[in-house]
Structure 1
Amino acid sequence: MSQYRIAIVIGSLRRDSFNRKLAGAVMRLAPPELTFKQSLIGDLPLYNQDDDGNQAPAVKRLKSEITNAHGLLFVTPEYNRSMPGVLKNAIDHASRPYGANAWAGKPAGVIGASLGAAGTAMAQQHLRNTLAYLDVPTLGQPEAFIHVKEGLFDENGDIGIEDTRKFLQNWMDHYVAWVKKLAV
């Protein structure tokens, strides 16, 4: 395969989100054979099993984007020691109805940024547990819990701290190999 389509799911709706910035910076570290498209999740209704037989257009759009992707990249903040509700809502929608799980089999990477020194470790762990149940093979190592501090992003939105940029380049190299190994 010469091109790999990656669906990016950002767990924050905030326009100036650190994780939105991180997603942009990390995409620019990828080789040209990966193309990225953000799957929007802010317009999804709250998941309700009663709607499984007649899913909203936004849900159908999300499921189509996930189905057509070769891989997934989750970039998430941590809310109250877990993943944000908007992200869990998107995961629930695209995994339903039972037997129509759009996420299954898609190789995934999980990263996140936070002001806290522990980064997004708990959110990522909760997300990884959910993805494991949904049959999403998720890159295990290296893990990337990015501590947001002065200079992390330069004026162009790229990673401005050299050690962090090298770390994230290494993470991206592992992620690319993961996608190439597992994408169908």
Structure 2
Amino acid sequence: MKKIKIVAVVGSLRKESYNRQLALAAKEIIGDRADFELLEYQDVPLMNQDIEYPAPEAVKRVRNEVKSADGIWFFIPEYNHFFSGVLKNLIDWLSRPISDQERQVLAGKPAAISGISPSMIGTSIAQDHLVTLISLLNMDVMNVPRLTIPNVMQQLDSDNKLTLKESYPYLEKQVNSFLSFITKRNQ
């Protein structure tokens, strides 16, 4: 049986972002039950139809990584009640047809959404905006459970590393649910 492959898309490019740390915590919980990799996309240029065909090498690379995945897990911050511009730019590239014969790579892909934020409401508003967009692109969204973790500062150690005190069981539940969600769709 083929091992599930999950590609994690972190909506922040900051090396030590809280959402990157959350993605790595999910990877740790998953362990050897699936292949889990973070999509590196900081080199993807701004979407511009003048350079769409042939697509830049960075775009081809991220498209291939997403195309080969069994599921996409978004870990997003909330910027002004929305998800980040870099994530929107990435999705714009991924939503475009690859060629006349090949559709975009997001359609039909199972998707999970998590987010952590310093605010009291977490990332729920940004997540709702993201669900609207990726549903339009025909992704198969796992709406329950979604994970939004507020007050990140209360879950950091003295070195500003995420410790996920009371939120750990919720991330663990989402990991198990997403693995099951993907497995059911691959049967």
TM exceeding 0.5: yes
Separation of aligned partners in 2, 1:37 and 1:171:
17
- State the AA in 2 paired with 1:129: T
Question: Does the aligned pair in 1 maintain the 2:11–2:74 contact within 8 Å?
Answer: yes
CA distance 1:7–1:154, shift in 2 (3 Å): farther
Pairwise CA distance, 1:177: 0.7
Pairwise CA distance, 1:121: 0.8
User: TM-score, normalization: structure 1?
Assistant: 0.91
Separation of aligned partners in 1, 2:153 and 2:31:
27
2:139 maps to: 136
The total of aligned residue pairs comes to 183
- State the AA in 2 paired with 1:106: K
**146-155 or 92-101, which moves further after superposition?**
146-155
Question: Does the aligned pair in 2 maintain the 1:46–1:89 contact within 8 Å?
Answer: yes
1:101 maps to: 104
**28-37 or 128-137, which moves further after superposition?**
28-37
Question: What SS does the aligned partner of 1:15 have?
Answer: coil
Separation of aligned partners in 1, 2:158 and 2:178:
23
Separation of aligned partners in 2, 1:159 and 1:108:
25
Q: Percent identity?
A: 34
1:3 aligns with 2:7: no
Separation of aligned partners in 2, 1:20 and 1:52:
29
Pairwise CA distance, 1:47: 0.3
Separation of aligned partners in 2, 1:94 and 1:166:
32
Pairwise CA distance, 1:27: 1.2
User: Mind listing any 5+ residue stretches in structure 1 that lack a counterpart?
Assistant: none
1:164 aligns with 2:167: yes
**142-151 or 110-119, which moves further after superposition?**
142-151
Q: What is the aligned-residue RMSD (CA, Å)?
A: 2.0
User: Mind listing any 5+ residue stretches in structure 2 that lack a counterpart?
Assistant: none
1:110 aligns with 2:113: yes
CA distance 1:179–1:154, shift in 2 (3 Å): farther
Pairwise CA distance, 1:154: 8.6
Separation of aligned partners in 2, 1:137 and 1:49:
27
1:55 maps to: 55
Question: What SS does the aligned partner of 2:140 have?
Answer: coil
1:181 aligns with 2:177: no
User: TM-score, normalization: structure 2?
Assistant: 0.90
C-alpha distance after superposition, 1:55-103 (max 9, x if no partner): 1000000000001111111101011111101001001101113762111
1:44 maps to: 44
Question: What SS does the aligned partner of 1:74 have?
Answer: strand
1:68 maps to: 68
After TM superposition, what 4+ stretches of structure 1 lie above 4 angstroms from structure 2? 152-155
